[in-house]
Amino acid sequence: MGKLRHHAIAVLACAAVALSTVAAAGQVVEIEVSKTFGEIQLVNRGAAIQLSSEVKVEQMVDGKWQQTPVANLYLISSCTQSPAPACVLLAANASLRPVPWRGNYCSSQCMANCNLDGPVPPGTYRYVVTSCDRKRRFYSAAFEKKAQAAQDLSLPRK
């Protein structure tokens, strides 16, 4: 948790050029979705807030949002040996760029220990982040996921 990067508003202003702002009006925490698949940035427009570090993914199916069983996706800014904390603090006016989602079910962010894995199907998705007390939910705007080759599942990294 100590490695979470809280960027200043000035940095956010620059980043916003490349990001499409997608948070619903009135939300305290906005989840901005980059044009680069998997990249998001959380921006806190309100007071400091504790967020559950777990990021949920929902898919639009037959006009309704349904949870997609994506595991191991957290509000962490780097892949470390420490397990993700249960909650992360997002200070007032701070922002956070988690490690991008790879589009997979299991090895979804950092490399994980998976038996069955695979890319989620193409479709319309959104991210959901909740406050640590589970009383508030923050949604990104919808974004599209295109087809992903099976060969992309698990390539050598280095």
Partner 1 sequence: MAISLVPGTASIKIVLHPSVNRPALDAAGPFMDFSCRPISIEGACKITGDKGDNPAGWTLGLIQLKFVDTDWAYYRGKSNLDGSSFLQYSRPPALPTGGCRDTINAGAIFVDNNPGLDRTVAAATSLLPLAMSAAFSDAPSRSFYLSRKNGLTGKDNFLREAQTELHFCTVLSLRSPAGIFQHLKSVYWNVHWQATFEPSNFANLAAPWSIVTTGGLGNMAHVSQIIDGPPIDKRFAGIVTAPGTPNCNLMTQSSYNNPNVKESKVWANFDITQ
In the complex, the residues that contact partner 1 under the rule CB under 8 A are: 69, 71, 78-81, 83, 99, 105-107, 110-118, 121, 150-151, 153-158
Nearest to 95 by CA among 1, 10, 8, 3: 8
Closer Cβ to partner 1, 22 or 38, answer by number: 38
Closer Cβ to partner 1, 22 or 57, answer by number: 57
Coil, helix or strand at residue 116: coil
Neighbours of 117 (CB within 10 A): 15
Cβ–Cβ < 8 Å for 34, 24:
no
- Residue 21 CB, shortest distance to partner 1, in Å, is 26
- Residue 53 CB, shortest distance to partner 1, in Å, is 16
- Residue 136 CB, shortest distance to partner 1, in Å, is 26
Closer Cβ to partner 1, 30 or 126, answer by number: 126
Nearest to 72 by CA among 49, 31, 43, 102: 102
- Residue 2 CB, shortest distance to partner 1, in Å, is 15
Q: Which residue has the tokens 């997979």?
A: 104
Closer Cβ to partner 1, 20 or 124, answer by number: 124
Relative to beta strand 123-130, strand 49-52 is unpaired
